[in-house]
A and B are shown apart, each in its own frame.
Chain A
Amino acid sequence: QKEVEQDPGPLSVPEGAIVSLNCTYSNSAFQYFMWYRQYSRKGPELLMYTYSSGNKEDGRFTAQVDKSSKYISLFIRDSQPSDSATYLCAMFYNFNKFYFGSGTKLNVKP
């Protein structure tokens, strides 16, 4: 079983839709949770970072962590064509090793 599971998509939505991206994980020791956005032919860019359970909001983006279910989500409100990218979840607990999901490709149609 992989440490972090993520549906690869692709996920195609119309502009203005609410997007929900999700990851599940198996290691209950994970404490730090991140979402990265990767545009085509670019490096991953840190989008959101949360510690422990709960919600964190930043503009149109909300990151949610449910440690009891080992489930994290990223919600994008009022999605824009510029949000079209691959979204990677990542997790960390110690020893400087980050664990990544395989990425979900999102396409927001104008």
Chain B
Amino acid sequence: DTAVSQTPKYLVTQMGNDKSIKCEQNLGHDTMYWYKQDSKKFLKIMFSYNNKELIINETVPNRFSPKSPDKAHLNLHINSLELGDSAVYFCASSQENTQYFGPGTRLTVL
């Protein structure tokens, strides 16, 4: 059983398009996250939700909008995609002080 899953795994799209990435966790954790990982492997936190409530909102363009329909799901919608949005996006979940990651979504904006 996959603990944290993301779809799609790969996303190739044109500049200006709108796209969504979905995340689900079956660990029963209360907190979920979105991270962006650049080509140098640096993991930058974008958002965090605790039990459907936004608790971390880092300096991210407002073209990025997270949504948590329930505590097991956290989706990321991106409007008007730009070349600089190309990266790997990881979803993660945590309970207390350990965090588990999904397999990532590799987004390429052409």
Contact = CB atoms under 8 A, between A and B. Distances in A.
Interface of A: 8, 31-32, 34, 36, 38, 41-46, 49, 51, 86, 88, 90, 92, 95-98, 100, 102-103, 105
Given A98-B45, A102-B40, A45 B101 contact: yes
A102 B104 contact: no
Contacts of B33: 98
Nearest to B103: A43
A21 B4 CA distance: 27
Q: Which label, helix, strand, loop or mixed, suits the secondary structure of the B interface?
A: strand
Q: Which label, helix, strand, loop or mixed, suits the secondary structure of the A interface?
A: strand
Contacts, number: 59
Interface of B: 4, 31, 33, 40-43, 45, 48, 50, 55-56, 90, 94, 97-104, 106
Nearest to B45: A97
Contact of A102 (B42, B97, B101): B42
A98 B48 CA distance: 10
